[in-house]
């Protein structure tokens, strides 16, 4: 079961809880779209093919999402080094601005054309291909968390191996202390909604 409707992490949690299906077979599109937008914008900024940018947006698909900068690299070269190489010396500020733009792009698109559809359609195609072809691609889909990174009892996005059986598990990317704290905060936002909505 692939959940795309928003709020996607809350609905993924709900689907896991009430569908009776094995947890690993219930996933949400999560931050796959946000990650694609991040790669695209970074590709533009660094003047490099976005497919060579390895990065993830993690956490909630929404306002508390996090760009996992500490594990970001361009073809294996750490982000900071690649930025310097491309002549970007204010890269911390640029990365912050890019992450904000990713976070706000859905609002911007909705304001201009009422809804978002092409981007999410591409993301759904990507996830479905990984499932149908059993690609075992690493995608930031939303799935139930059980203690990894100190997060438990909510569905949110972390890089996961996706194939014909749904998710085969998380990929343990490195997070800085700051990113880990932000992830915990993102999980708390979701846990609060689950509690208030009494799901």
Ligand X SMILES: NC(=O)c1ccc[n+]([C@@H]2O[C@H](COP(=O)([O-])OP(=O)(O)OC[C@H]3O[C@@H](n4cnc5c(N)ncnc54)[C@H](O)[C@@H]3O)[C@@H](O)[C@H]2O)c1
- Residues serving a catalytic function are 61
CB-based contacts of 17, cutoff 8 Å, min separation 6: 199
**Does residue 139 bind ligand X (CB under 6 A)?**
no
- Does the protein bind ligand X through residue 6 (CB under 6 A)? yes
| Count of residues in contact with ligand X, rule CB under 6 A | 11
Of the residues 24, 116, 137, 180, which one makes contact with ligand X according to CB under 6 A:
116
**With binding defined as CB under 6 A, does residue 115 bind ligand X?**
yes
In DSSP terms, 77 is beta-bridged to: 74
Strands 66-67 and 57-58 come out as antiparallel
Among 2, 8, 68, 190, contact with ligand X (rule: CB under 6 A)? 8
**Is residue 94 involved in binding ligand X (CB under 6 A)?**
no
Q: How far is the CB of 48 from ligand X (least distance, A)?
A: 25
56 or 82: CB nearest ligand X: 56
Taking contact as CB under 6 A, which single stretch among the options 75-83, 112-120, 158-166, 189-197 is the one that binds ligand X?
Answer: 112-120
Check binding of 33 to ligand X (CB under 6 A).
yes
Each residue 51-90 as x (binds ligand X by CB under 6 A) or -, in order, gives ----------x-----------------------------
Question: Greatest CA separation found in the chain?
Answer: 53
Residue 143 vs residues 3, 25, 122: alpha-carbon distances, Å: 10, 9, 20
Does 174 sit near ligand X (CB under 6 A)?
no
Task: Return the closest-CA partner of residue 192 out of 102, 101, 63, 56.
Answer: 63
DSSP per-residue letters across 39-88 = HHHHHHHHTS-GGGEE--EEB-SSTT-EE-GGG-EETTEEHHHHHHHTT-
Cβ atoms 32, 48 nearer than 8 A: no
Interacting residue with ligand X among 66, 102, 120, 130 (CB under 6 A): 120
Helix 32-46 and helix 91-113, axial crossing angle in degrees, nearest 10:
120
Is 105 a binder of ligand X (CB under 6 A)? no
In the complex, the residues that contact ligand X under the rule CB under 6 A are 4-6, 8, 29, 33, 61, 115-117, 120
């Amino acid at each position: 079961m692939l959940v795309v409707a928003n709020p996607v992490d809350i609905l993924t949690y709900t689907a896991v809880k009430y569908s009776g299906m094995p947890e690993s077979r219930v996933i949400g599109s999560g931050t796959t779209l946000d990650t694609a937008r991040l790669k695209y914008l970074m590709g533009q900024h660094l003047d490099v093919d976005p497919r060579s940018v390895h990065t993830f947006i993690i956490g909630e698909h929404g306002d508390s999402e996090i760009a996992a900068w500490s594990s970001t690299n361009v073809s294996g070269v750490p982000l900071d080094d690649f930025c310097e190489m491309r002549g970007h010396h204010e890269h911390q500020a640029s990365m912050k601005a890019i992450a904000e733009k990713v976070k706000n792009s859905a609002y911007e698109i909705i304001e201009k054309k009422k809804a978002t559809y092409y981007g999410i359609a591409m993301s759904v195609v990507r996830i479905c291909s990984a499932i149908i072809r059993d690609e075992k691609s690493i995608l930031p889909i939303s799935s139930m968390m059980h203690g990894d990174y100190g997060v438990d009892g909510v569905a949110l996005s972390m890089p996961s191996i996706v194939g014909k059986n749904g998710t085969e598990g998380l990929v343990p990317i490195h997070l800085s202390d700051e990113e880990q704290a932000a992830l915990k905060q993102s999980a708390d936002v979701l846990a609060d909604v689950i509690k208030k909505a009494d799901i």
